[in-house]
Amino acid sequence: MAGPGWRSQQPLRQAAPSLPLVPVAAPPLAAGSCGGAGGARGWPGALEPAEAEAAAARPEAPEAEEDEEEALPHSEAVDVFQEGLAMVVQDPLLCDLPIQVTLEEVNSQIALEYGQAMTVRVCKMDGEIMPVVVVQNATVLDLKKAIQRYVQLRQEREGGIQHISWSYVWRTYYLTSAGEKLTEDRKKLRDYGIRNRDEVSFIKKLRQK
């Protein structure tokens, strides 16, 4: 038969609260121990150090490949450029240009269409006419350089390069327009009255006695 002392102890056992469980961290496993790697793989997204380094390096791989693809030899880059220009000159605006056109010629043709340049018809001694493009405010010296460039490009396209001493040409000949000699290199063509599609010819200088 239980005494009064037992009655006081029984409620204490029932009222004792349950203590919360505190997680205890497991000691780290050695790299070579069983379950070390397997435990890491059990968590979503968990990677071993070697796998993490490989994953971090993956995004950079495409950039390296792109750099290798972009680095073209000079000859191939020139071919790509020429192909692009060939497609450009199919435009009706540029259809009069040669197939092996230069960027300079494309820009000159566009400048002509927008009225920023003009064509000077240069007549050679044999009667051939060279359509040379210069900017609207070009000087006599600019025209001379444009003539030299025109002749150089034509010789390159024809395959035979003939050396021309331009210093001798300009020392021996004047350019003339409407009977007036273009004697001042720094003077603008429009100051000589030269406009778009006007003709300029060569005239031999007279020796001074």
Q: What is the pLDDT of residues 137-149, one digit of tens each?
A: 999 999 999 999 9
Average pLDDT over residues 126-137: 95
> What does DSSP say about strands 117-123 and 199-204: parallel, antiparallel, or unpaired?
parallel
Specify whether the CB–CB gap between 125 and 176 falls below 8 A: no
**pLDDT band at residue 6, thresholds of 50, 70 and 90?**
very low
What DSSP designation does 90 have? T
- Are 135 and 111 a contacting pair, CB within 8 Å? yes
**Complete domains list, the chain, with CATH:** 98-204 (3.10.20.90)
Q: What does the pLDDT look like over 42-67, one tens digit per residue?
A: 444 445 555 555 555 555 545 545 55
User: Do the beta carbons of residue 189 and residue 176 sit within 8 Å?
Assistant: no
For residue 39, what pLDDT band results from cuts at 50, 70 and 90? very low
By mean pLDDT, which of 48-57, 116-125, 175-184 is the weakest? Answer: 48-57
Q: What pLDDT score does 51 carry?
A: 57
Max CA distance (Å), the chain: 159
User: Are 174 and 97 spatial neighbours (Cβ–Cβ below 8 Å)?
Assistant: no
CA distance 139 to 207: 25
What is the number of helices (H) and of strands (E) in the chain? 8, 5
